[in-house]
Amino acid sequence: MPYPNHRPRRLRSTPAMRRLVAQTSLEPRHLVLPMFVADGIAEPRAIESMPGVFQHTRDSLRKAAAEAVAAGVGGLMLFGVPTDGDKDATGSVGVAEDGILNVALRDLAADLGSDTVLMADTCLDEFTDHGHCGVLDVRGRVDNDLTNARYVELAVAQANSGAHVVGPSGMMDGQVAAIREGLDAAGHADVVILAYAAKFASGFYGPFREAVGSSLQGDRRTYQQNPGNAREALHEVELDIDEGADIIMVKPAMAYLDVVRAAAEISPVPVAAYQVSGEYSMICAAAANGWIDLRTVALETLTSIRRAGADIVLSYWATDVADWLA
């Protein structure tokens, strides 16, 4: 035995001792709350597959956002849900000044100013009638460069509406460079790019599709990554950093902790991980059956994502965690 006198249990003897030697911290400031705001609804609408998560009205969004910020969460990530009638092939309602996401960003920017970090999902899938994250070519394939041009317009519209951070999540090649150039040209050199650098084509996004009323038929495997490809994930991370990403993200989180760890080891910029809808729903469902304890498991998963190397974690439990830890 290399350490015959070591008895690790000594350091587990009291809550104070355990607190003193705790290696990984989980604080509300590490967490970002993803939020959905929908057009054309009079009351907040519960998302059935995500208990406790809502499509918000503009008013209920303001209230929930203020609560999250008062609880101490690190930031808010906003997703817009337009009416089906406002969706079109190129996602125009995402760019429109009176589109629901941009309007809600202005609401929150007015309410919260710089008390929080306001982020917007910079993607087309919520806004297109076909549900893909990009613009389609004549053969129905997602066209990389046409899509990037649209992302620039989206990002500039979001920055104009008060977003401090834009989050390109569509996995187009060159999206970060295109958006950086577009933001700078529009006078938004201070707006941060949180790049969904390694985003996998995952079954864990299932409940999100209900959350945003997705119109998608088929899948996203021509742009999102194959779950088995770790080397490619690091290549994507390096490309995004090279293109000017200020923060890089791995998504989903729990099934990809090796990728989070590997990204954290090479990244000179902060690393985020997204605990996605299916990760949330799965734990809620097991807890509702009495099979696991929700709070224990939620905190354990978030701590594990931090332990793997994530500086920032997006989680639908962000406000709850802040309350639990208070």
- Could you give the residue numbers annotated as active site? 199, 251
Which residue number, 107 or 125, has a Cβ lying nearer to ligand PBG?
A: 125
Pairing type for strands 45-46 and 54-56 reads antiparallel
3-class state of residue 265 by DSSP:
helix
Distance CA 203, CA 279 (A): 10
Is residue 316 part of an annotated ligand binding site? Answer: yes
Sequence-distant (≥ 6) Cβ neighbours of residue 192 within 8 angstroms:
164, 165, 166, 246, 247
Distance CA 163, CA 155 (A): 9
Instruction: Tell me the closest approach of the beta carbon of residue 276 to ligand PBG, in angstroms.
Output: 4
Stretch that binds ligand PBG, among 9-17, 41-49, 55-63, 117-125 (CB under 6 A): 117-125
Site string for ligand PBG, 255-284 (x = CB under 6 A): ---------------------xx-------
Which residue number, 107 or 121, has a Cβ lying nearer to ligand PBG?
A: 121
Stretch that binds ligand PBG, among 67-75, 120-128, 177-185, 302-310 (CB under 6 A): 120-128
Preceding peptide of 44 cis, ω within 30°: no
Indicate which single residue of 54, 151, 200, 205 sits in contact with ligand PBG (rule: CB under 6 A): 205
Distance CA 247, CA 195 (A): 6
Is residue 196 part of an annotated ligand binding site? Answer: no
> What b/e readout covers 244-258, taking b as 16+ CB neighbours within 10 angstroms?
bbbbbbbbbbbebbe
Is residue 243 part of an annotated ligand binding site? Answer: no
Which residue number, 96 or 111, has a Cβ lying nearer to ligand PBG?
A: 96
Distance CA 27, CA 125 (A): 32
Which residue number, 123 or 163, has a Cβ lying nearer to ligand PBG?
A: 123
User: Which residues sit opposite 34 in a β-bridge?
Assistant: 77
Is 123 one of the binding residues for ligand PBG (CB under 6 A)? yes
As given in the structure block, the two tokens for residue 257 are: 């902790």
Secondary element (H or E) of residue 271: strand 271-274
Site string for ligand PBG, 28-67 (x = CB under 6 A): ----------------------------------------
Indicate which single residue of 86, 107, 125, 240 sits in contact with ligand PBG (rule: CB under 6 A): 125
Instruction: Tell me the closest approach of the beta carbon of residue 35 to ligand PBG, in angstroms.
Output: 11
Instruction: Tell me the closest approach of the beta carbon of residue 297 to ligand PBG, in angstroms.
Output: 17
End-to-end C-alpha distance for the chain, whole angstroms: 42
Instruction: Tell me the closest approach of the beta carbon of residue 130 to ligand PBG, in angstroms.
Output: 13
Indicate which single residue of 86, 121, 236, 320 sits in contact with ligand PBG (rule: CB under 6 A): 121
Sequence-distant (≥ 6) Cβ neighbours of residue 4 within 8 angstroms:
none
Cβ neighbours around 4 below 10 Å, total: 6
CA angle 105-108-111, nearest 5°? 150
Stretch that binds ligand PBG, among 16-24, 38-46, 118-126, 302-310 (CB under 6 A): 118-126
User: Which residues sit opposite 63 in a β-bridge?
Assistant: none
Instruction: Tell me the closest approach of the beta carbon of residue 313 to ligand PBG, in angstroms.
Output: 12
Q: Which residue number places its CB atom closest to ligand PBG? A: 208
Residue with tokens 């490619």: 232
Binding residues for ligand PBG (CB under 6 A): 121, 123, 125, 133, 169, 205, 208, 220, 276-277
Which residues belong to the annotated binding site for 5-aminolevulinate? 209, 220, 277, 316
Which residues belong to the annotated binding site? 209, 220, 236, 277, 316
Which residues belong to the annotated binding site for Mg(2+)? 236
